[in-house]
């Protein structure tokens, strides 16, 4: 068996939002997996973006020392809003330093905002980012996040003495479209389901139930999670986690699936 056929014959569900699904799908198909698309979530800007707009304008005016980006969704939302405000390009011209949680977020910052991250922690977790920043008291941070983001990072930054402006950059809603995954579960034609965030776990199960399925359908398939927090969310819903990526990246997730199916 060659490396390009390591997942041959396996049907694997990609639960990422439509606009983010391609890299994972490409990595799975490179190993000959059959990829089923079932977007668990979709990303939307805040219903009232006034607080986000004000913080972006302050950032461009040099009012913050750091812009802290915790996900590619955050970067995408900022890029959308800057475009709508007709200020695209001004953020990259500011002197704000950027901290990015993980290489995917850092890459999105370059691609969508034209900004190179000054700091990417070795471990792709909020706790590691708070420690790596090594803040001086009084430094000002702009922290755009999901409306359901955990408070830990903001609390840790404030404890370090930073002045943190925490703003909702995007909200998460149930996804739509894709392949008929509930029916394929009933037919026993799914081998694994991938999760890349706690929200994909929550909204996948919510959507599955609304479309005639249940969490019990995942008992006989491999549940693969990109990191610790995602795995915790899956276990909180009584899902058995068979695969967790050693490196919290798309490549790490696919490598974990390869190891699992070739034990």
State pLDDT tens for residues 98-111: 999 888 889 999 99
162 and 240: one domain? no
Contact between 113 and 92 (Cβ < 8 Å): yes
- Residue 56: is its pLDDT beyond 90? yes
Which spans in 12-99 are helix H? 22-29, 50-60, 72-84
What is the side-by-side order of every strand in the sheet holding 163-174?
41-44, 163-174, 140-146, 66-69, 97-100
Question: What is the structure's pLDDT at 141?
Answer: 96
Given pLDDT bands bounded at 50, 70 and 90, which one contains residue 132?
confident
- Residue 38: is its pLDDT beyond 80? yes
User: Can you tell me the mean pLDDT for 54-58?
Assistant: 97
Q: Which of 154, 171, 188 is the last residue of a domain?
A: 171
pTM of the model: 0.76
219 and 205: one domain? yes
199 and 100: one domain? no
- Residue 12: is its pLDDT beyond 80? yes
Cα 230 off chain centre by:
10
Given pLDDT bands bounded at 50, 70 and 90, which one contains residue 4?
low
User: Can you tell me the mean pLDDT for 207-223?
Assistant: 95
- Residue 18: is its pLDDT beyond 70? yes
* Domain residue limits at 38: 3-42+175-261
26 and 125: one domain? no
- Residue 1: is its pLDDT beyond 70? no
User: Can you tell me the mean pLDDT for 168-196?
Assistant: 96
31 and 88: one domain? no
- Residue 28: is its pLDDT beyond 80? yes
Report the share of the chain in percent with pLDDT over 90: 72
Tell me the per-residue pLDDT of 76-128, one tens digit each, with 9 for 90 and over: 999 999 999 998 788 888 889 999 988 888 999 999 999 999 999 876 566 67
Q: Which of 171, 199, 222 is the last residue of a domain?
A: 171
Tally of domains in the chain: 2
The DSSP symbol for 131 reads: H
């Amino acid at each position: 068996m060659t490396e390009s056929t390591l997942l041959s014959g396996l049907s694997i569900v990609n639960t990422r939002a439509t606009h983010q699904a391609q890299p994972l799908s490409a990595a799975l198909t490179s190993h000959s997996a059959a990829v089923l698309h079932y977007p668990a979530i979709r990303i939307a800007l805040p219903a009232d973006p006034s607080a986000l707009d004000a913080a972006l304008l302050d950032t461009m005016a040099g009012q913050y020392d750091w812009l802290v980006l915790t996900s590619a969704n955050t970067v995408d939302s900022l890029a959308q809003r800057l475009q709508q405000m007709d200020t695209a390009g001004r953020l990259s011209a500011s002197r704000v330093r950027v901290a990015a949680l993980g290489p995917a977020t850092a890459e999105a910052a370059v691609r969508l905002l034209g900004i190179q991250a000054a700091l990417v922690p070795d471990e792709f977790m909020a706790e590691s980012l708070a420690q790596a920043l090594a803040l001086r008291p009084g430094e000002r941070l702009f922290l755009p996040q999901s409306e359901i983001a955990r408070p830990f990072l903001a609390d840790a930054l404030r404890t370090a003495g930073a002045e943190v402006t925490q703003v909702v950059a995007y909200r998460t809603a149930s996804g739509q479209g894709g392949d008929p995954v509930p029916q394929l579960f009933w037919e026993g034609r799914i081998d694994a389901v991938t999760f890349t965030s706690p929200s994909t776990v929550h909204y996948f199960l919510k959507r599955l139930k609304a479309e005639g399925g249940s969490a019990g359908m995942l008992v006989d398939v491999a549940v693969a999670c990109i990191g610790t927090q995602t795995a915790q969310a899956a276990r909180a819903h009584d899902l058995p986690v068979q695969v967790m990526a050693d490196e919290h990246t798309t490549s790490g997730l696919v490598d974990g699936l390869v190891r699992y199916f070739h034990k």
